[in-house]
């Protein structure tokens, strides 16, 4: 029963997110809005963690399976890649590495700084 109720709450959040996006006509995924809505409900104690936890964990554990069809869909644009496939692989790899490096370094250095300040405050 708990799993069923949890699944219902997750679906309703997704639906509410989609509804808001449709109404205001923003190019943004309803599911991400639904995630923020569920987070708000959990923080506001309107939904208990135990109610959604097991369903959420199940869905997250199967995530790879849900993304896989999107990757198979790449076969439909292969003809547009003829002759530039190597370039595209190099670009995607290089851009990913650059993004990983910049994002990780900025977050890492600032996290160090923020936590050091906090420790100093605690000491004082």
Partner 1 sequence: MSWADVTNNPLFGFTLTVLTMFLFSTLLHRAKTPLLNPFLFSAAAIIIFLLVTKTPYAHYEKGASILAFFMGPTIVALAVPLYKQIDKLKANALPVLAGIAVGVLVSLVSGIGLSLLFGLSREMAVSMAPKGATSAISMNLAQTFGGDPALTVAFVNLTGITGYMLGTKVFSLLRVKSPVAKGIALGTTAHAMGTKLAFDLGEEEGAMSSLAIGLAGVFTSLLMPLAMGLFGL
Write out the binding residues for partner 1, residues 74-103 only, by CB under 8 A. Answer: 74-77, 80-81, 84, 87-103
- Nearer to partner 1 (CB atom), residue 20 or residue 56: 56
Q: Residue 8, interface with partner 1 (CB under 8 A)?
A: no
What the block records as the tokens of 14 is 């997704």
Cα–Cα dist 70/63, whole Å: 12
**Phi, psi dihedral angles at 28 (to 5 degrees):** -145, 145
- 88 neighbors 81 (Cβ within 8 angstroms): yes
Give CA–CA dist 33/57, Å, rounded: 19
Q: Does 63 bind partner 1 (CB under 8 A)?
A: yes
Please give the residues from 24 up to 53 whose contact with partner 1 meets the rule CB under 8 A. Answer: 27-32, 34-39, 42-43, 49, 52-53
65 near partner 1 (CB under 8 A): yes
């Amino acid at each position: 029963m708990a799993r069923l109720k949890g699944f219902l709450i997750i679906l309703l959040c997704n639906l509410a997110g989609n509804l808001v996006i449709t109404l205001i006509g923003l190019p943004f995924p309803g599911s991400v809005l639904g995630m923020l809505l569920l987070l708000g409900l959990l923080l506001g104690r309107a939904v208990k963690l135990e109610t959604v936890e097991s369903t959420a964990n199940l869905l997250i554990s199967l995530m790879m399976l849900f993304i896989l069809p999107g990757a198979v869909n790449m076969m439909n644009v292969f003809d547009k890649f003829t002759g530039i496939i190597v370039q595209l692989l190099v670009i995607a790899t290089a851009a990913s590495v650059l993004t990983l490096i910049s994002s990780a370094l900025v977050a890492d250095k600032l996290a160090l700084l923020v936590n050091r300040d906090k420790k100093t405050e605690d000491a004082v």
